[in-house]
Amino acid sequence: MGQYAFGFNGKKKVKEKMKKILAIISFLIISTVANAESKLQTIKKNGELRVGTTGDWDPMSMKDPATNKYKGFDIDVMKELAKDMGVKVKFVPAEWKTIVAGITADRYDISTSVTKTPKRAEVAGFTSTYYKYGTVPLVLKKNLKKFPTWKSLNNKKVTIATTLGTSQEEKAKEFFPKSKLKSVEAPARDFQEVLAGRADGNITSSTEANKLVIKYPQLAIVPDGEKNPAFLAMMVPKNDKTWNNYVSKWIKDKKASGFFKSLLAKYDLKSL
Ligand code: KH2
C-alpha cells in the first residue's frame, strides 16, 4: 500500500512537473508572438524605411530613366513619412504582378499606394486611405460611335486590354464578362494595345485617362460616366497592427495639417 502510495505520488509529481513545463513553454510562445517586433521598431533601429514602388504610375510613382530617381505624389508622401520618423527612405523597385508578394516576403516595409481590393486584403494590410478615384474606359476616338457605353464593350467580339497584377485586371473580368481579355505585362501598358489596334479598349482611373487623352489625341474616354469608386492606400504586413496604426494615424494627422491638400494641388489631383 505504502509503495503504491509512493508510486502514485511520484506519478503525480511527474504530472505536475510536466504541467509546469508546458505552462512555461506556452508562456514563452505567447510572449514571443505578442512581443514580435513591429516594423515600427525595426525601421527606427535600422534608420531606414524601405518602400516598394513600381515607378510607372503617373502621377503617383514615376522613375526617371535618366537619373534612376523616383518622383511623384506617393514619393513625396513617403519622403515626408521618413522625415517625420527621423529615418532615411529607400525605394525598392517593385512590379505590379509581385507588389503584394514583396510585402509578404518582407522585401519592403510598406508600398506606395495601391487600390484597395479584397484579393490583396486577404494577405496584406491596408493603411487608411488618402485618395479616391473612378474608373473609365478608353477607346480610339474613331471608334467612339461603335463604343459609346460600358455595355457596348461587353461583347464577345471585343478585346479589352489590362495590365497584369493590377486592380483593373480584376475589375475587367467583372465589367466585361463576355469580352476577350488581354493582359500585358508592365512596362508594356494596356492603353498601348488600344493605340496599336490590338485591343478595342482598356479601363483606367479617370485621373490617368484625362492625362492620356491629352498625350495621345487618338484616344477618347467613353462618355458613359465613371464606375467603381476605388480607394488608394499603402500596403503593410497584414499582422503588424502597431505599424499600420502608426502610419494610419500619421495619414490622419497629415490630412488635418493640410499636407495632403497641398500635395494634391501640386500634382493637379482633385479627390480625397
Ligand atoms: S492598382 C494600380 O493598384 N496602373 O489599381 C494600377 O492595381 C496602376 C493603372 C499599371 C501603372 C501601370 C498604372 C496600371
Q: Which tens digit of pLDDT belongs to each residue from 80-113?
A: 999 999 999 999 999 999 999 999 999 999 999 9
| Average pLDDT value for the chain | 91
pTM comes to 0.82
Measuring from atom 7 of ligand 1, which residue has the nearest CA?
166
Q: How far apart are CA 93 and CA 118, in angstroms?
A: 24
Ligand 1 centroid – CA 220 distance (Å): 19
Q: How far apart are CA 139 and CA 10, in angstroms?
A: 83
CATH superfamily, domain at 133-229: Periplasmic binding protein-like II (3.40.190.10)
Other beta carbons within 10 angstroms of residue 248's beta carbon come to 20
Residue 215 has pLDDT above 90, yes or no: yes
Asked if residues 172 and 151 have their Cβ atoms less than 8 Å apart, the reply is: no
Measuring from atom 11 of ligand 1, which residue has the nearest CA?
57
Determine which helix (DSSP H) or strand (DSSP E) holds 79, and give its type and residue range.
Answer: helix 73-85
In the prediction, which pLDDT does 21 show?
A: 65
Measuring from atom 13 of ligand 1, which residue has the nearest CA?
57
Domain limits of the chain?
1-35, 39-127+234-266, 133-229
In the prediction, which pLDDT does 36 show?
A: 75
In the prediction, which pLDDT does 29 show?
A: 53
In the prediction, which pLDDT does 271 show?
A: 65
In the prediction, which pLDDT does 35 show?
A: 55
Specify the fold of 39-127+234-266: D-Maltodextrin-Binding Protein; domain 2 (3.40.190)
- Matching residue, cell 509529481: 13
Contacts of 51 (CB under 8 A, 6+ apart): 78, 89, 90, 91, 92, 108, 109, 110, 111, 112
Q: How far apart are CA 114 and CA 120, in angstroms?
A: 10
Residue 126 has pLDDT above 60, yes or no: yes
Residues 4-21 have pLDDT tens digits of 454 556 666 767 777 776
Ligand 1 centroid – CA 100 distance (Å): 13
Q: Which three cell numbers stand for residue 58?
A: 503617373
Ligand 1 centroid – CA 255 distance (Å): 24
Residues 127-151 have pLDDT tens digits of 999 999 999 999 999 999 999 999 9
- Matching residue, cell 511527474: 14
In the prediction, which pLDDT does 26 show?
A: 62
Matching fold, domains 39-127+234-266 and 133-229: yes
Report residues whose beta carbon is within 6 angstroms of any ligand 1 atom. 56-57, 96, 114-115, 163, 166-168, 186, 204, 208
Residues 157-207 have pLDDT tens digits of 999 999 999 999 999 999 999 999 999 998 999 999 999 999 999 999 998
Asked if residues 161 and 199 have their Cβ atoms less than 8 Å apart, the reply is: yes
In the prediction, which pLDDT does 3 show?
A: 46
Q: How far apart are CA 254 and CA 267, in angstroms?
A: 17
Q: How far apart are CA 119 and CA 249, in angstroms?
A: 24
Ligand 1 centroid – CA 221 distance (Å): 17
In the prediction, which pLDDT does 51 show?
A: 98
Q: How far apart are CA 257 and CA 182, in angstroms?
A: 43
Q: How far apart are CA 100 and CA 118, in angstroms?
A: 12
In the prediction, which pLDDT does 7 show?
A: 55
What percentage of residues in the chain have a pLDDT greater than 90?
A: 82
